[in-house]
Amino acid sequence: MPTANYGEKVMTLVFWLAAFLITAILAVIIGYIVVKGFSVLSLDFIFTPPSRAGKEGGISTTIVSTLYLVLGSLLIAVPVGVASAVYLEEYARKNSRFAYIVNLTAETLAGIPSIVFGLFGFVFFVIFLGWGWSILSGAMTMAIMILPTITRTSQEAILAVPREYRENSLALGASKWQTIRKIVLPSALPGIATGIILSIGRAVGETAALLLTAGSSLGMPMSITDPARTMAVHLYILAMEGISLERAFGTAFVIIVLILIINYAAHYGMRRLSALGR
Amino acid sequence: MNSIKIRSHNLNVFYGPFQALYDINMDIESNKVTALIGPSGCGKSTFLRSINRLNELIDGVRIEGQIYIDEKPIYARDVDVVALRKKVGMVFQKPSAFPMSIYENVAYGPRIHGIKDRRVLDEIVEKSLKAANLWNEVKDRLKAPATGLSGGQQQRLVIARVLAVNPEVILMDEPASALDPISTAKLEELIAELRCNYTIVIVTHNMQQAARVSDYTGFFLNGRLIEYNRTEELFVNPRDKRTEDYITGRFG
Ligand SMILES: Nc1ncnc2c1ncn2[C@@H]1O[C@H](COP(=O)(O)OP(=O)(O)OP(=O)(O)O)[C@@H](O)[C@H]1O
Ligand SMILES: [Mg+2]
């Protein structure tokens, strides 16, 4: 059947092209960023603070601000998200009204655009609570933003833990909490980590919501009440206000490298942690 | 001298509106193997899971009647479920090693129950693995992931894990149904050895297996215990027509 064979070949080519496109896009973007930002890239760029609004100097303060904001939002969102996932999957009754409402809320929150969270954070944390533009306001806003992702992925990870593990553990005389702590959460860890990595990516890339809540100060933040400018915000301002396109691309490059480092570190850590498991 | 280890008295179990067990009265002897047979869905697992109170984890389960172990009611208000489950171990159908090392699997129970001393744990792990006929196969890789073991090895690991908490009763729910013939033979051998020190209740779909391993056999049908007797008696000389139909294979 030559026609069927021909069709097969054409489709294979189409699928191959689609897959190739993804790789090509990534290569072009990274290549473009490297070429454009190359002139400013150096260790100095990473380790010196910006001067003259970013026209000169490096981006050290924005790297530190980014790390603070990401860490801060994770510190709030991970415990709350994982705890609520444990509650929803392990403690709530299947047709509980409260669980239904929480699930629905998480789903709705996940669909809200980040700028809306930014607006809320601005009005509530910055103005109403009087925290001003600060790491605290920014981290709280981002925590709310990533909370649904962390809750959802943790729920899925917990749900994927085989029922047999729980039954075996309980049948050995373990309490529910011992079973969750020693069996369920360790088994769910890789899935939970995936949610955390996704959230980190979102937080590192966020701009608008952070402009509204953490401000755009280029100074080195000394406490959580200080305002801060993350790399993404810095990039945005550099490009938008025509301060320096080279430096914008240089910043973009550092953002990508940082994300790669975080991803690999997380994967590696995860493999170490669950080395015995799989 | 026979002594009764487990006594089920007018046990009725409901899943919501559905009644899964009707008035089960059954005395199970100490240090014997008792097999439960019957067609799928007749309530064997439900009965087994009533003995270590695992059923109550399911939403909407209702249990009436009483089960006595060593003449003490297990469905009484002041019963410590943890202590009960320590005394009544369970092996499930699907071999299920925890995703941790072989050593940690066996040490899991003792650790849960507060044993921290490394030397004591080492001793328990070795003793339990030996008792489960697994020691020789794993002694050189105690730190290796248990999930790398074969199904038959995992099932013996699960038994070692149960033995490690020093139970008196072991419930087994179709423990060989996921195993190949050789692993099954090893498991049956193990059950024969364990019967000296433990009271074993085993659910099986395999008539020959029930005949081979058990001293007593109970036949369940539609949530009722139809016939319960010494294994040879029940297989050679069934009193109830339905038992006969089932063991001769003339049954759905
Ligand atoms: N969690 C549950 N919710 C509702 N009904 C259940 C539940 N578990 C079991 N049942 C019902 O109770 C009855 C007895 O089930 P059980 O699992 O005890 O049977 P079984 O004899 O072990 O069957 P099998 O040989 O297939 O394992 C069945 O009709 C089953 O559908
Ligand atoms: Mg069953």
Q: Which residue of A has its CA nearest to B57?
A: A167
Q: What pLDDT does B102 receive? A: 96
The CATH class of the A43-277 domain is mainly alpha
Contact B86 A175 (CB under 8 A): no
Q: What pLDDT does A2 receive? A: 58
The answer to whether B178 and B151 have CB atoms below 8 angstroms apart is yes
Ligand 1 lined by B59 (C-beta under 6 Å): no
- Chain B segment 35-94 residues within 8 A of A by beta carbon are 52, 54, 57, 59, 82-86, 89-90, 92, 94
Q: Report the distance separating Cα A103 and Cα A88, nearest Å.
A: 8
Least confident residue range of A49-63, A143-157, B166-180: A49-63
Q: What is the mean pLDDT of residues A77-97?
A: 92
Note down the domain range covering B226.
4-247
Q: What pLDDT does A62 receive? A: 94
Q: Whose CA is closest to B49, among B108, B9, B91, B10?
A: B91
Q: What pLDDT does A57 receive? A: 85
Residue A266: band (very low, low, confident or very high) from pLDDT cuts 50, 70, 90? confident
Q: Report the distance separating Cα A271 and Cα B221, nearest Å.
A: 49
Q: How many CB atoms lie within 10 A of CB B54?
A: 22
Percent of chain A with pLDDT over 90: 68
- Widest CA span in chain B: 57
Q: Does A44 touch chain B (CB under 8 A)?
A: no
The answer to whether B53 and B81 have CB atoms below 8 angstroms apart is yes
Ligand 1 lined by B62 (C-beta under 6 Å): no
- Tell me which residue in A167, A170, A278 faces B99 most closely, judged by beta carbons: A278
Residue A277 has pLDDT above 70, yes or no: no
Q: What pLDDT does A5 receive? A: 82
What's the token pair of residue A145? 């933003």
Q: What pLDDT does A1 receive? A: 52
From residue B244, alpha-carbon distances to A133, B25, B202, B238, B247 in Å are: 82, 21, 20, 6, 5
Q: Which atom of ligand 1 is nearest to the CA of B58?
A: 1
Contact B99 A178 (CB under 8 A): no
CATH classification at residue B78: 3.40.50.300
The answer to whether B191 and B170 have CB atoms below 8 angstroms apart is no
Counted across chains A and B, CB pairs separated by less than 8 A come out at: 73
Contact A277 B101 (CB under 8 A): no
Ligand 1 lined by B41 (C-beta under 6 Å): yes
**What b/e readout covers A199-221, taking b as 16+ CB neighbours within 10 angstroms?**
bbbbbbebbbbbbbbbbbebeeb
Contact B89 A182 (CB under 8 A): no
CA within 13 Å, CB half, B134: 29
Q: Report the distance separating Cα B86 and Cα B82, nearest Å.
A: 6
How far, in Å, from the CA of B64 to the mean position of ligand 1?
Answer: 17
Neighbours of ion ligand 2 (CB under 5 A): B 45
CA within 13 Å, CB half, B63: 22
For a ligand 1 pocket test, name from B12, B13, B14, B18 the mutation site with the most ligand atoms within 8 angstroms of its C-beta: B18
Q: Which residue of B has its CA nearest to A96?
A: B59
Least confident residue range of A102-106, A228-232, B34-38: A102-106
Q: Report the distance separating Cα A16 and Cα A32, nearest Å.
A: 24
3-state secondary structure chain A: CHHHHHHHHHHHHHHHHHHHHHHHHHHHHHHHHHHHHCCCCCHHHHHCCEEHHHCEECCHHHHHHHHHHHHHHHHHHHHHHHHHHHHHHHHCCCCCHHHHHHHHHHHHHHHCCHHHHHHHHHHHHHHHCCCCCCHHHHHHHHHHHHHHHHHHHHHHHHHCCCHHHHHHHHHCCCCHHHHHHHHHHHHHHHHHHHHHHHHHHHHHHCCHHHHHHCCCCCCCCCCCCCCCCCHHHHHHHHHHCCCCHHHHHHHHHHHHHHHHHHHHHHHHHHHHHCCCCC
- Total of domains in chain B: 1
Least confident residue range of A217-221, A247-251, B246-250: B246-250
> What does the domain layout of chain A look like in residue ranges?
1-40, 43-277
Q: Whose CA is closest to A213, among A149, A262, A111, A144?
A: A144
Ligand 1 lined by B43 (C-beta under 6 Å): yes
Q: Which residue of B has its CA nearest to A189?
A: B99
* pTM for the full predicted model: 0.85
Residues 6+ apart with CB under 8 A from B163: B89, B127, B128, B131, B132
Q: Report the distance separating Cα A168 and Cα A219, nearest Å.
A: 55
Listed as ranges, residues in chain B with pLDDT below 50 are none
Q: What pLDDT does A276 receive? A: 46
Q: Whose CA is closest to A199, among A66, A100, A73, A92?
A: A73
Residue A278: band (very low, low, confident or very high) from pLDDT cuts 50, 70, 90? very low
Q: Report the distance separating Cα B144 and Cα B102, nearest Å.
A: 6
- Atom 1 of ligand 1, residue of closest alpha carbon: B58
Q: What pLDDT does A55 receive? A: 82
> pLDDT tens digits, residue range A173-212?
999 999 999 999 999 998 899 899 989 999 999 999 999 9
For a ligand 1 pocket test, name from B22, B44, B61 the mutation site with the most ligand atoms within 8 angstroms of its C-beta: B44
For residue B237, give the amino acid letter: N
- Tell me which residue in A162, A172, A274 faces B108 most closely, judged by beta carbons: A172
> pLDDT tens digits, residue range A19-40?
999 999 989 998 999 888 888 8
Contact A276 B104 (CB under 8 A): yes
Task: Say whether the ipTM exceeds 0.85.
Answer: yes
